[in-house]
Structures are given as structure tokens and as C-alpha cells.
């Protein structure tokens, strides 16, 4: 049992749980204060808000007397899985770079690059179900178009992620600065690409700045039976693909030579080079892998067929890319842990929606919770160090009390005492 508590993974989980509990506690305290200070809310409303923060994904409707009811809510559960999909993949993107000693803050730009390539391929290749004005349908199966669009999104993200990797490996330019640059270049490039294309949605309610959904080409991610389990939600097989990619990343880093080399570069780039590992190649490769995962996030999100892409992204960057950072930090960069932290962050998102729909509270309270968790997720490493240091001090104190006392030092001019007869003594 002691060995379990002394494991590095256990300490990482404890640090992450402490960060989450503090964040949830801060949000609950905020709800309590707002409830008591607002006459129209009161203590009952505050208690309802706190319950929704912790279990909003299980909330249903109010009963006939106005009390909150909880149970299996297929719509909320399905939407949670759908929103977790891009978070898992962007979290993996950040985690892969972290393991190689790099900080991939360029996930938003890689996400946009993947989205652009995916939508352009999915809507430009005419399929047998094409309904886009001005483009005649052909005999290309929709599943072929889907595969090409998905792989195109991953490739675009990989190429965009490789740019900071090349700048880091060849010119030693800090990857954070390079990623910030590529983020805003991607945002404006996306705007230009779709601004000059014929893919703008001008049919549905005369929408401005939106791209057609992929369903106009009959292209959409297969439901894989999840629509039956979670009716009324947006969930599809994309969440299963995201989880499968997380498992693949785990296998690569734990079971392959490539994974060992990437981790070696992250531990000490120069020592890895001395050992014969090509550190420059691995830096570029890790950023390309990270970019492909972020590109896959954008591809799967918009290949769902039920989401629209607003192409005027020069005003902001996709939040899914930035939220991948706390997802990776809370998971201690573990690929399997990213699945659970991604689901948790998505659960908070759904809880915010339920808080808005079922109470008088604003959904931004959950944003405060996420903000606190994001801050503490970076601080979780410090918490882990504190836990480790405390255990080391306890172990040192325990060793000091159980150790045998050392023999007394001899006085000056005094011969050392004989410990055992027949040993030592004067020379004959």
C-alpha cells in the first residue's frame, strides 16, 4: 500500500484532484454569496445552483411543485460527450508537446488549419448526395469524402504544427512565440480562404460569415449507435475516435522506440543528442504529431454535420485550443488521463448551460470555476512538489529515528576502541 502512495502517478492524481476540488469549492462559494446577497434568489436558490454545479449533467426538469429533479438525462450526457471530443484531442496535442519538453500554445491555430482543410475538402468534393448550389453531384461515396476530409484536416494541422517545430530546432526560436505567430496567421488565413470561396452559407436564413454544414454534401460522422443511447443530443462516433487516438498516443509513448526518444528529448535534449538520438528531428516530429491531433479535433467537430463554422475568426481564436492546456495539465500529460479530464471540463460546460436554463444564475459562474481550475492546473505541479517534499521529509525523519547511533569519536591521542577481539591491535 505504501508503494502505491509513493508512486509518481498517484501524487499527480492527488494534485489534480486538489485543484479540481478547490475550483468547485470556489464556484460553490460564489453561488452561495450571490444567493444570499440577492433578495430574489435566497438560500434555496443557492443550494440548487451548487447542486447543478456538481451534478448539472444529471439534472432533468423541475417537477410540478418547482423542485429540481435529477436522473439520467440522455441529451445532456450526449452533449457532454460531443463537447469533450475536441477537448480530448487538443489536450492530447498539448500533452504530446509537453512530453518532448515543448509548450504547444499553438493548438488554436492548428485547430483552425485542420478545420479549414476539412471543410474545404468535404464541401468541394461533390458526392452522390451533394446539394450545394452550383455543384453537381457525382458518384463519389460520402464515406470516401469523409475519410479524405478527416485525413486532410489532420495533415493540415500537422503541417501547421511543424512550423514552430522547425523554427525551434533550426533557429532555436522559442516555440511559444512561434505558436502565437502561427495562431494569428491561421486566423486571418482562414478568413481569407473562406471569404473568396463559394462555400459561404447564404441560403439558411441569409447567414453571414458562416460555412455550409457538411450535411449539404451528405458528409457526416457516423453515429455508431450513440444516437440511440443518447437521443436528442449531438453526440456521434467522433468521441470514440478521439478515445481511440488517446489510446494510440499512450501506446506510442509507452511501448515504442519513438515514444522513448521523444521523452528522452523532453527530459534532456542535449543528453539525448549525446546518446545518438536525433533531437532536432524529434522536436519537429513531436510538434507535427501535436498539430495533427489539434487538426483532428477541428475535423471531427465540424464533420459532425450539425455544427456551423463562423469563418470570421480574426476577431478571436477557438477556445477549444486553449482549453486543451488545462486538460493536459490536470491529466499530468497522461494520454489516458486526458480522456477523463476532457470529460470533466465538458461536464462543467454542460452544468453551466443547466445553471442558466433552470435557475436565475448566470452560466458564467462555471466559467469562473474553469478559470480557477485552469489557474490551479498550472499550480498542480507545485502541489505535487509539496506532497513529494512532505513525504520525503517524513521518510527522512523516520529513517533518522530508526537508525543505530554511530560509535563515539575517539579523544585526541586515544587509540580507537576494538570492536571485535582478534581484529586490529598492535602490529607484531
Total domains in the chain come to 2
Q: Which residues contact 237 (CB under 8 A, 6 or more apart)?
A: 221, 222, 223, 224, 226
187 in the same domain as 103 = yes
61 in the same domain as 88 = no
C-alpha cell at 193: 480562404
Q: Whole-prediction pTM value?
A: 0.82
Instruction: Report the run of H or E that residue 309 belongs to, with start and end.
Output: strand 309-310
276 in the same domain as 129 = yes
Radius of gyration of the chain measured on its C-alpha atoms:
28
Instruction: Report the run of H or E that residue 89 belongs to, with start and end.
Output: helix 74-99
Whether the Cβ atoms of residue 378 and residue 329 lie closer than 8 Å to each other:
yes
375 in the same domain as 287 = no
Tens of pLDDT, residue by residue, the chain (428 residues): 556 555 666 766 777 777 778 878 888 888 888 878 877 777 777 887 888 878 878 877 776 667 777 778 888 899 999 999 999 999 999 999 998 889 899 999 999 999 999 999 998 888 877 777 677 777 788 999 999 999 999 999 999 999 999 999 999 899 999 999 999 999 888 888 888 887 777 666 566 778 888 888 889 999 898 888 898 888 999 999 999 999 999 999 999 999 889 888 888 888 888 888 888 899 999 999 999 999 999 999 999 988 888 876 556 788 888 889 889 988 888 999 999 999 988 888 888 777 777 777 766 777 777 777 777 766 665 665 565 566 556 666 666 666 555 566 666 555 555 555 444 444 44
C-alpha cell at 117: 482543410
Is position 384 within any domain? Answer: yes
Is position 395 within any domain? Answer: no
Is position 122 within any domain? Answer: yes
236 in the same domain as 123 = yes
Q: Which residues contact 125 (CB under 8 A, 6 or more apart)?
A: 140, 145, 148, 149, 217
Whether the Cβ atoms of residue 31 and residue 46 lie closer than 8 Å to each other:
yes
- Report the CATH number that the domain containing residue 316 is assigned in CATH: 1.10.3470
The residue range of the domain holding 186 is: 81-346
94 in the same domain as 15 = no
DSSP secondary structure letter of residue 61:
E
- Which of 322, 346, 370 is at the close of a domain? 346
Amino acid at each position: 500500500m505504501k508503494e502505491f502512495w509513493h508512486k509518481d502517478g498517484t501524487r499527480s492524481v492527488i494534485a489534480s484532484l486538489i485543484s479540481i476540488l478547490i475550483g468547485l469549492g470556489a464556484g460553490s462559494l460564489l453561488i452561495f454569496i450571490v444567493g444570499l446577497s440577492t433578495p430574489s434568489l435566497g438560500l434555496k436558490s443557492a443550494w440548487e445552483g451548487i447542486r447543478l454545479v456538481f451534478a448539472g449533467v444529471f439534472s432533468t426538469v423541475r417537477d410540478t411543485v418547482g423542485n429540481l429533479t435529477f436522473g439520467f438525462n440522455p441529451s445532456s450526457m450526449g452533449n457532454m460527450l460531443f463537447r469533450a471530443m475536441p477537448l480530448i484531442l487538443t489536450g492530447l496535442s498539448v500533452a504530446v508537446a509537453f512530453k518532448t519538453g515543448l509548450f504547444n500554445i499553438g493548438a488554436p491555430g492548428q485547430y483552425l488549419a485542420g478545420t479549414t482543410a476539412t471543410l474545404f475538402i468535404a464541401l468541394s468534393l461533390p458526392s452522390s448526395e451533394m446539394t450545394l448550389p452550383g455543384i453537381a453531384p457525382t458518384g463519389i461515396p460520402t464515406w470516401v469524402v469523409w475519410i479524405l476530409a478527416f485525413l486532410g484536416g489532420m495533415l493540415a494541422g500537422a503541417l501547421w504544427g511543424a512550423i514552430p517545430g522547425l523554427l525551434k530546432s533550426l533557429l532555436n526560436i522559442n516555440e511559444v512565440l512561434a505558436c502565437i505567430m502561427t495562431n494569428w496567421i491561421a486566423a486571418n488565413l482562414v478568413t481569407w480562404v473562406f471569404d473568396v470561396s463559394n462555400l459561404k452559407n447564404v441560403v439558411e436564413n441569409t447567414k453571414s460569415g458562416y460555412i455550409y454544414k457538411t450535411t449539404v454534401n451528405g458528409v457526416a460522422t457516423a453515429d455508431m449507435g450513440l444516437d440511440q443511447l443518447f437521443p436528442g443530443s449531438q453526440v456521434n462516433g467522433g468521441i470514440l475516435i478521439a478515445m481511440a487516438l488517446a489510446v494510440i498516443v499512450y501506446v506510442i509513448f509507452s511501448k515504442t522506440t519513438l515514444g522513448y526518444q521523444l521523452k528522452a528529448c523532453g527530459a534532456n535534449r542535449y543528453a539525448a543528442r549525446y546518446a545518438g538520438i536525433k533531437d532536432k528531428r524529434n522536436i519537429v516530429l513531436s510538434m507535427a504529431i501535436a498539430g495533427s491531433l489539434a487538426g483532428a479535433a477541428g475535423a471531427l467537430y465540424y464533420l459532425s454535420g450539425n455544427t456551423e463554422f463562423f469563418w470570421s475568426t480574426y476577431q478571436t481564436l477557438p477556445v477549444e485550443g486553449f482549453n486543451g492546456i488545462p486538460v493536459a495539465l490536470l491529466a499530468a500529460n497522461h494520454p489516458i488521463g486526458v480522456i477523463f479530464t476532457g470529460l470533466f471540463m465538458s461536464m462543467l460546460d454542460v452544468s453551466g448551460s443547466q445553471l442558466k436554463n433552470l435557475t436565475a444564475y448566470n452560466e458564467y459562474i462555471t466559467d469562473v470555476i474553469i478559470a480557477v481550475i485552469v489557474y490551479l492546473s498550472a499550480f498542480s505541479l507545485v502541489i505535487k512538489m509539496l506532497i513529494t517534499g512532505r513525504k520525503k521529509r517524513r521518510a527522512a525523519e523516520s529513517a533518522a529515528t530508526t537508525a543505530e547511533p554511530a560509535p563515539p569519536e575517539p579523544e585526541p591521542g586515544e587509540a580507537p576502541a576494538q570492536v571485535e577481539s582478534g581484529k586490529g591491535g598492535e602490529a607484531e
